[in-house]
Amino acid sequence: MQQDIPFYDVVQIGYGPVSEIMALALGRQGRRVAVFERWRERYPLPRAVCIDHELYRVLAALGMAGELPAVSHAGSAYRWFNAEWKELLSIDWAAESISGGPEVNFVHQPTLEQMFDDQVRACPGVELHLGWEAVAVSQTADYAELRLRSVDGGAERTVRARYLIGADGANSLVRRTIGSAQQDRGFEADWLVIDVLPHEGVALDIPAAAQWCNPARPTTIVPAGVKDGRYFRRWEFMRLPHETREELEHEAVAWQLLEPWVRPDQATIVRHKVYTFRSLLAERWRDGRLLIAGDAAHVMPPFMGQGMCAGLRDDWNLAWKLALVLDGRADDRLLDSYQRERLPHVSDVIDLSMYLGRIICMPDAARAAERDAAFFGGRAAPPPAFPRLTDGILRRGADGAVQAPAGWLSPHGTVRAGARQGRFDEVVGLGFVLVSRTAAAEAALGAPQRAVLDALGARRVVVTPAGAPAGDGTVQDLDGKFLPFMQQLGIDTMLVRPDFYLYGAVAHGAQAGQLVDDLAVDLRRHGVQLPAPAALREAA
């Protein structure tokens, strides 16, 4: 019988990419974390094939900037064609992003996860327990409790933690425990996914990244990442109404479907499996000390490549808030903002993925012809814009509405501070950052505002053009990312949150004090402990 029950800051269930990055983010904070996973070996085959620019920046911030170029490659134009290979629409994934670099990078998920795993295992405070199945989850006012059973011999154990995160997939035990229903957004389709590794020296005559919206056989052709310098390719074929899942599982059928593009003497099939693409959204992401993230909270069609990305955004949003709570600088009201911010955002991403899915998942020739005519005639609705944050810890006006650009993703690029040059996050640092175009913002800050920023560990920088004289607290905008962004929006100063989203911005540097005051009010409302403004003003 277990005598002493181990106690952790955070316990996690599952060890997929979302749990890996959550453990890494917490481990880098110095937390004591335990991760439990029923499988002893990592799933060896790729699922996700890309990460967008925002998550590339997040992974770099977590210490993987040097390794990422070797395990990823830049995206290309993502083109959608009708049956006659006439272009319906194009999404430029190769375009320069606000974060620097292309909008999308393609990855080989097992290779990417090995990089994550290496980083996690290097964190001294993170314990990894493979071969343990979660049996039951519960909580008291003081801790969350997890009961586990060994998959080998049936031995049982119990652990406790201040918080428990279920990154335990679409069939999440934690989601069921907190009583969260799932909203079915109405998308469901079976697709045969085939990953192929071309033989050495073989160059395939195929689109770089495409959706062939052919009603006779809707087909996806995309990169599937790089490993050891060799590039994988992925095909996905929609199951037609007259077909069964079982018949599509045969390798001979896979080669028949691949025949127009690649032959057995040109490549090896790495895997072929039928998956059901769905759109599900959990209605409740937190109950006290229990939280969910990743597929436990949301499942979406793959047509925007956002499934894994959405889960990693959950991590990054939750990590900075848990840091304040675990340090005793905030009570758990702050964690209420996790769902308020992430659920509407991921809901919009699901809508975008479903919009694209409905274009291709159309096996009826007559309906496909109507679709084509709508696109070619300019009557088709354009894809929704990629979402921003719309709720949570964001600056609002007197009417209570979020004031743009609050909720927008902040720019990122190469800067120089004195003799030091590098990416903004490396040179300036992570956390809250007050970014200004002029020195007026610094002059406008009084003792109360400086005390708030200092309590948050916030940085304050003035961005100047490349080649401008260097000064204390200034960084030169070598890539031209920051100044054009701020000039276009007509803002002098912006306050960036630790997850790279803007809390808010002001048009004039003299308003910077009010911007910081507003942040302090919002954070206090969410349970963050900050210096009392009245006492600070009296001291000043």
pLDDT interval class at 532 (50, 70, 90):
confident
CB atoms within 10 A of CB 131: 16
pLDDT interval class at 127 (50, 70, 90):
very high
SS3 80: strand
Whether the predicted pLDDT of 56 surpasses 70: yes
Which residue matches tokens 């743009």? 404
- pLDDT tens for 327-369 read 999 999 999 999 999 999 999 999 999 999 999 999 999 999 9
Q: Which of the 8 DSSP states describes residue 102?
A: B
The pLDDT value given to residue 535: 47
pLDDT interval class at 402 (50, 70, 90):
very high
The pLDDT value given to residue 2: 64
pLDDT interval class at 46 (50, 70, 90):
low
Question: Strand ranges (DSSP E) for 46-155?
Answer: 50-52, 72-74, 77-82, 87-92, 104-107, 126-130, 132-139, 144-150
Domain ranges of the chain: 7-66+107-180+282-358, 414-539
More confident residue, 425 or 46: 425
Length of the chain: 540
pLDDT interval class at 382 (50, 70, 90):
confident
Whether the predicted pLDDT of 92 surpasses 60: yes
Strand ranges of the sheet holding 72-74, from the earlier edge strand across to the other edge: 50-52, 104-107, 72-74
The CATH classification number of 7-66+107-180+282-358 equals 3.50.50.60
The pLDDT value given to residue 325: 98
Q: What is the pTM of this model?
A: 0.96
Query: Rounded to the nearest 5°, which phi and psi values hold at 345?
Result: -65, -50
pLDDT interval class at 540 (50, 70, 90):
very low
Query: Rounded to the nearest 5°, which phi and psi values hold at 368?
Result: -65, -40
Tally helices (H) and strands (E) across the chain: 16, 26
Report, as an integer, the average pLDDT of 409-416.
97
Q: Which of 211, 336, 230 is nearest to 286 (CA)?
A: 336
- pLDDT tens for 206-245 read 999 999 999 999 999 999 998 888 899 999 999 999 999 9
Bridge-partner residues for 145, per DSSP? 138, 160
Whether the predicted pLDDT of 121 surpasses 60: yes
Report, as an integer, the average pLDDT of 146-163.
95
Strand ranges of the sheet holding 459-465, from the earlier edge strand across to the other edge: 420-423, 414-417, 474-477, 459-465, 433-436, 493-496, 502-506
Strand ranges of the sheet holding 298-299, from the earlier edge strand across to the other edge: 87-92, 77-82, 210-213, 219-227, 230-238, 182-198, 267-282, 298-299
Report, as an integer, the average pLDDT of 427-436.
98
The pLDDT value given to residue 41: 87
CB 419 within 8 A of CB 503: no
Question: Which residue intervals of 327-480 are DSSP H helices?
Answer: 336-360, 365-376, 424-428, 440-444, 447-455
Mean pLDDT across the chain: 95
CB 119 within 8 A of CB 64: yes
pLDDT interval class at 533 (50, 70, 90):
low
As a whole number of Å, the CA-based R_g of the chain is 25
The pLDDT value given to residue 471: 81
- pLDDT tens for 262-272 read 999 999 999 99
What's 414-539's CATH class? alpha beta
Whether the predicted pLDDT of 538 surpasses 60: no
Planar angle of CA 47, 50, 56, nearest 5 degrees:
130
The pLDDT value given to residue 470: 79
- pLDDT tens for 445-488 read 999 999 999 999 999 999 999 988 878 899 999 999 999 999 99
Which residues does 335 contact at the CB level (< 8 Å), separation at least 6? 286, 291, 318, 321, 322, 325
Distance CA 377, CA 343 (A): 35
The pLDDT value given to residue 51: 97
